[in-house]
A = this chain, B = another copy of it.
Amino acid sequence: PSTDINADVGESFGRWRLGDDEAMLGIVTSANVACGFHAGDPLTLRRTCMAAVERGVAIGAQVGYRDLAGFGRRFVDVAAPDLTADVLYQLGALDGIARAAGGRVAYLKPHGALYNAIVTHEEQARAMVEAVLAFNRGYDAALPVLGLPGSAFLAVAEAAGLTAVREAFADRAYRGDGTLVPRSEPGAVLTDPAAAADQALRLVQAGGVDSVCVHGDSPDAVALATAVRTRLTDAGFGLGAFT
């Protein structure tokens, strides 16, 4: 059996550095690269795409709300036509940078508050899917989309003929019903590498998961991602991008 590990990278902005992208790109098989709306200046994106191509890591477009001050973590009530255009703009921008580096955008993953919103927000979910369909038509591509199993986003995407990739979180606590504990609650984030590795293996073995997400911006991100990767490979899982 095999699976995929994804993490957010390219989230620095100008003078401000965030995460150890070099190290994370040595661990994951899919890299969710920021697209400039919630994080990621163009030079950071270019360097990140170059490093991803060099290591054979798949490049995903991590699209978000236009909100640098909020790092894309605040819901913005964007109208559907604007959201579609915003996402198409981000997809194109990152694809331009990825192609110049010898790669291409291979999938889309929504970021932060947008990711959470389209678990239930049908209109924004449809606007996102519109953008991917338009991109696919424009470049004769077939981008899959990464999202939460059971979300409106993945349902709309599949209904529109897109490939829906279901992800599980190694380092976020789950409730009994399978939804995530919100970040505002205590214990929402698992910080112990061993606990995260255990959870990752359990979720992958339970099935219904195509990719495991680890976060890249915590102090122990590299240790935690390494623990997850090791646990999965020790248990016999091959690792490779889903794309």
Interface residues of A (CB under 8 A from B): 12-18, 36, 39, 41-43, 45-46, 66-71, 73-79, 81-82, 84-86, 88-102, 113, 134-135, 137-139, 217
Partner of A74, one of B45, B77, B95, B135: B77
List, sorted by A's number, 5 A–B pairs whose CB atoms are closer than 8 Å. A12-B16, A13-B68, A15-B71, A70-B76, A75-B76
Q: Apart from A75-B76, A100-B138, what are 7 other A-B pairs with CB-CB below 8 Å?
A: A42-B82, A42-B88, A43-B85, A45-B89, A68-B68, A88-B97, A93-B93
Contact B97 A92 (CB under 8 A): yes
Q: Which 8 residue pairs of A and B lie closest in terms of their CB atoms, listed nearest first?
A: A92-B96, A99-B138, A16-B16, A42-B85, A15-B71, A100-B134, A93-B93, A42-B89
A67 to B68, CA, bound (A): 10
Residues on B with C-beta less than 8 A from A76 are 67, 70, 74-77
CA distance in complex: A77, B102 (Å): 29
* CB nearest neighbor in B for A89: B42
Minimal beta-carbon separation of A87 from chain B (angstroms): 8
Nearest to A66 among chain B residues (CB) is: B69
| Contacting pair A78 B74 (CB below 8 A) | yes
Q: Quick check: A82 and B15 within 8 Å, CB to CB? A: no
Q: Give the nearest-CB partner of A136 in chain B.
A: B100
Chain B residues near A102 (CB-CB < 8 A) = 138
Q: With A67-B76, A70-B76 known to touch, is A88 a contact of B96 (CB < 8 Å)?
A: yes
